Structure 1
Amino acid sequence: MDIFILGSKGIPSNYGGFETFVEKLTEKKVSTEIKYHVACMSDSYNEFFHNNARCFNVAVPNIGSAKAVLYDVLSLKECYSYIKRNKLTNCTIYILACRIGPFLSYYKWKLNQLGVRIYVNPDGHEWKRSKWNKAIRWYWKYSEKLMIKNADIIICDSKGIQNYIQREYAHFHPVTDFIAYGADLERSKILDPLILQDWIRKNKISKNGYYLVVGRFVPENNYETMISEFMRSTSNKDLVIISNVESNDFYNELLLKTNFKQDNRIKFVGTVYNQELLKKIRENAFAYFHGHEVGGTNPSLLEALASTRLNLLLDVVFNREVGENGALYFSKEKDNLAKLIASSEQMDETDIEKLQALAYQRIAENYTWEYIIGQYEQLFETIAAVSKSNPSSNQTKGAIEV
Structure 2
Amino acid sequence: MQHVFIIGSRGLPAKYGGFETFVEELVSHQQSDQIKYHVAQLSENETGKHLTYQTADVFEIKKRNFGAANVIFYDRDAIVYAIKYIKSNHITNPIFYVLGNTLGAFIGHYMKLVHKIGGELYVNPDGLEWKRSKWIKPIQMYLKYSEKKMAKHADLIISDNQGIEDYLKTEYGSITSKVIAYGTNTAPAVPAMNQSWLDKYGIRSDAYYLVVGRFVPENNYEAIIRNFMVSSTKHDLVIITNHLGNPYFEKLRQLTNFDQDKRIKFVGTVYDKEQLTAIRKYAFAYIHGHAVGGTNPGLLEAMSVTNLNLVFDVSFNRNVALDSALFWQLDTLTDLIHQAENLESNVVAMLAQKARKIIAEKYTWDKIVGQYEEIFLNEG
TM-score class, shorter:
over 0.9
| One of 99, 119, 142 as aligned partner of 2:145 | 142
Q: Deviations over 1:75-124 (max 9, x none)?
A: 11111111111110021000000001122222211211111110000011
1:25: which partner in 2?
Answer: 26
Question: Any conservation in 1 of the 2:231–2:334 contact (CA below 8 Å)?
Answer: yes
| Cα deviation, residue 198, structure 1 | 2.6
Counterpart CA distance in 2 for 1:161 and 1:241 is 27
* Equivalent position SS for 1:11: coil
Counterpart CA distance in 1 for 2:54 and 2:93 is 22
Letter matched to residue 22 of structure 1: V
Counterpart CA distance in 2 for 1:105 and 1:344 is 50
Question: Any conservation in 2 of the 1:160–1:295 contact (CA below 8 Å)?
Answer: no
Q: Does 1:80 align with 2:78?
A: no
Counterpart CA distance in 2 for 1:187 and 1:177 is 28
After TM superposition, the structure 1 stretch with the greater mean CA deviation from structure 2, 31-40 or 7-16, is: 7-16
1:346: which partner in 2?
Answer: 342
Counterpart CA distance in 2 for 1:8 and 1:322 is 24
Q: Deviations over 1:210-242 (max 9, x none)?
A: 110011111111000101111111111111111
2:194: which partner in 1?
Answer: 196
Letter matched to residue 328 of structure 1: L
1:182: which partner in 2?
Answer: 183
Counterpart CA distance in 2 for 1:254 and 1:123 is 27
Counterpart CA distance in 2 for 1:263 and 1:212 is 16
1:303: which partner in 2?
Answer: 301
Q: How does 1:1-400 map onto structure 2 within 5 Å?
A: 1-44=2-45, 45=47, 46-170=49-173, 173-188=174-189, 190=191, 196-333=194-331, 336-384=332-380
Counterpart CA distance in 2 for 1:85 and 1:198 is 57
Question: Any conservation in 1 of the 2:93–2:117 contact (CA below 8 Å)?
Answer: no
Structure 2: segments with no counterpart, 5+ residues = none
> What RMSD over aligned residues (CA atoms) do the two structures have, in Å?
1.3
Q: Deviations over 1:184-224 (max 9, x none)?
A: 1132354xx5x823322222212101110011111111000
Counterpart CA distance in 1 for 2:228 and 2:219 is 15
Higher relative contact order, structure no. (Cα contacts within 8 Å, ≥ 6 residues apart): 2
- The percentage of aligned residue pairs carrying the same residue is 47
Q: Deviations over 1:271-292 (max 9, x none)?
A: 1111111111101111000011
Using the size of structure 2 for normalisation, the TM-score is 0.96
Q: Deviations over 1:249-292 (max 9, x none)?
A: 42222111110001111111111111111111101111000011
| Cα deviation, residue 150, structure 1 | 1.7
1:398: which partner in 2?
Answer: none
Letter matched to residue 169 of structure 2: Q
Counterpart CA distance in 2 for 1:219 and 1:50 is 36
Question: Any conservation in 1 of the 2:190–2:281 contact (CA below 8 Å)?
Answer: no
Counterpart CA distance in 1 for 2:338 and 2:231 is 7
* Equivalent position SS for 2:323: helix
* Equivalent position SS for 1:347: coil
Runs of 4 or more above 4 Å deviation: none
Question: Any conservation in 2 of the 1:188–1:280 contact (CA below 8 Å)?
Answer: no
Using the size of structure 1 for normalisation, the TM-score is 0.91
Q: Deviations over 1:131-182 (max 9, x none)?
A: 2111111000011111222210000001010011112111xx3100000000
Larger relative helix fraction: 1
| Cα deviation, residue 67, structure 1 | 1.3
Counterpart CA distance in 2 for 1:247 and 1:19 is 25
Q: How many pairs align?
A: 377
Counterpart CA distance in 2 for 1:299 and 1:315 is 17
| Cα deviation, residue 247, structure 1 | 4.0
* Equivalent position SS for 1:19: helix
The alpha-carbon distance between structure 1 residues 198 and 358, as it changes in their structure 2 partners (threshold 3 A), is same
Structure 1: segments with no counterpart, 5+ residues = 385-402
Q: Deviations over 1:281-321 (max 9, x none)?
A: 10111100001111311110111111101000011111111
